[in-house]
């Protein structure tokens, strides 16, 4: 439709603790939007396929040791290396569903004791999401779910600290979804919220930048 030529895609981020269902819900959202005929792509951070991403992956797998600030900046660099691709796709009308973003970056590093404002600084100027969906689940509950893997951050005591940091970061614009509900119910709620936001972006809501 002619009136849609300049409409952009929406930048939609899913956040939450390990095992809260982010990854399954992200890919289900992509299928749902595709089914409705939208142009949509799935991204995830860290993107382990790049050179920076491989350093991050080795760190998470406990195959390398890095200073907390160093790894924080690598996670941020991993987003910066995708920034222009993301902007191009959004402007071309593709909605991006993103599994973790800057909020994971800040929550996980500040949970280790790194200063919160310092953590936010390298994220300034990245694209701000149009919508942050927080899949809310108590760390104890998430831990019961099929158990954690063997990666660096996957243990209950640390996840409790991450949950506190997410609480400090979260603002009223975030949509909190109770991730303890049956998967189908979570999915339905996410679908409704996402559709609303995709339509708002098509109507000309401008892209904005972090950190605001
Ligand atoms: P996955 O299991 O989702 O691959 O997450 N993390 C993630 C950070 O510490 N900083 C970041 O900027 C991002 C995006 C969260 C890998 C782990 O990496 C953490 C879990």
Ligand 1 centroid distance, CA of 189 (Å) = 24
Phi, psi angles (nearest 5°) of residue 85? -60, -40
Ligand 1 centroid distance, CA of 54 (Å) = 13
Tell me if 153 CB under 6 Å of ligand 1.
Answer: yes
Choose the residue to mutate in 50, 55, 60 for probing ligand 1, maximizing ligand atoms within 8 Å of C-beta: 60
Tell me if 16 CB under 6 Å of ligand 1.
Answer: no
Tell me if 104 CB under 6 Å of ligand 1.
Answer: yes
CA angle (149 as vertex; 148, 153 as ends), nearest 5: 80
- ipTM here: 0.99
* Token pair for 87: 């902007």
- Pick the closest to residue 172 from 142, 139, 205, 134 (CA basis): 134
The whole-angstrom separation of Cα 122 and Cα 76 is 6
- Pick the closest to residue 163 from 184, 131, 147, 141 (CA basis): 141
Local structure of 191: helix, strand or coil: helix
Tell me if 166 CB under 6 Å of ligand 1.
Answer: no
Q: What is the pLDDT along the chain (212 residues), one digit of tens a residue?
A: 444 556 999 999 999 999 999 999 999 999 999 999 999 999 999 999 999 999 999 999 999 999 999 999 999 999 999 999 999 999 999 999 999 999 999 999 999 999 999 999 999 999 999 999 999 999 999 999 877 888 999 999 999 999 999 999 999 999 999 999 999 999 999 999 999 999 999 999 999 999 97
Ligand 1 centroid distance, CA of 206 (Å) = 28
What pLDDT shows up at residue 70?
98
Atom of ligand 1 nearest to the CA of 102: 12
Ligand 1 centroid distance, CA of 18 (Å) = 9
- Pick the closest to residue 12 from 191, 212, 204 (CA basis): 191
What pLDDT shows up at residue 30?
98
Atom of ligand 1 nearest to the CA of 109: 9
Choose the residue to mutate in 100, 120, 150 for probing ligand 1, maximizing ligand atoms within 8 Å of C-beta: 100
What pLDDT shows up at residue 5?
53
* Token pair for 70: 């160093």
């Amino acid at each position: 439709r002619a009136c849609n030529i300049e409409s952009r895609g929406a930048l939609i981020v899913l956040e939450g603790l390990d095992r809260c269902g982010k990854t399954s819900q992200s890919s289900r959202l992509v299928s749902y939007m595709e089914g409705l005929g939208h142009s949509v792509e799935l991204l995830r951070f860290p993107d382990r396929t790049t050179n920076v991403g491989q350093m991050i992956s080795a760190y998470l797998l406990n195959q390398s040791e890095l200073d907390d600030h160093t790894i924080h900046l690598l996670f941020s660099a991993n987003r910066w290396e995708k920034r222009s691709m993301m902007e191009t796709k959004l402007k071309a009308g593709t909605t991006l569903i993103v599994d973790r973003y800057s909020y994971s970056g800040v929550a996980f590093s500040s949970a280790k004791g790194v200063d919160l404002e310092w953590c936010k600084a390298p994220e300034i100027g990245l694209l701000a999401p149009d919508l942050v969906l927080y899949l809310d689940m108590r760390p104890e509950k998430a831990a019961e779910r099929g158990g954690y893997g063997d990666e660096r951050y996957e243990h209950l005591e640390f996840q409790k600290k991450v949950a506190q940091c997410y609480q400090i970061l979260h603002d009223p614009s975030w949509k909190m979804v109770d991730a303890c509900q049956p998967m189908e119910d979570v999915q339905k709620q996410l679908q409704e919220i996402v559709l609303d936001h995709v339509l708002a972006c098509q109507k000309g809501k401008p892209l904005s930048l972090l950190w605001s």
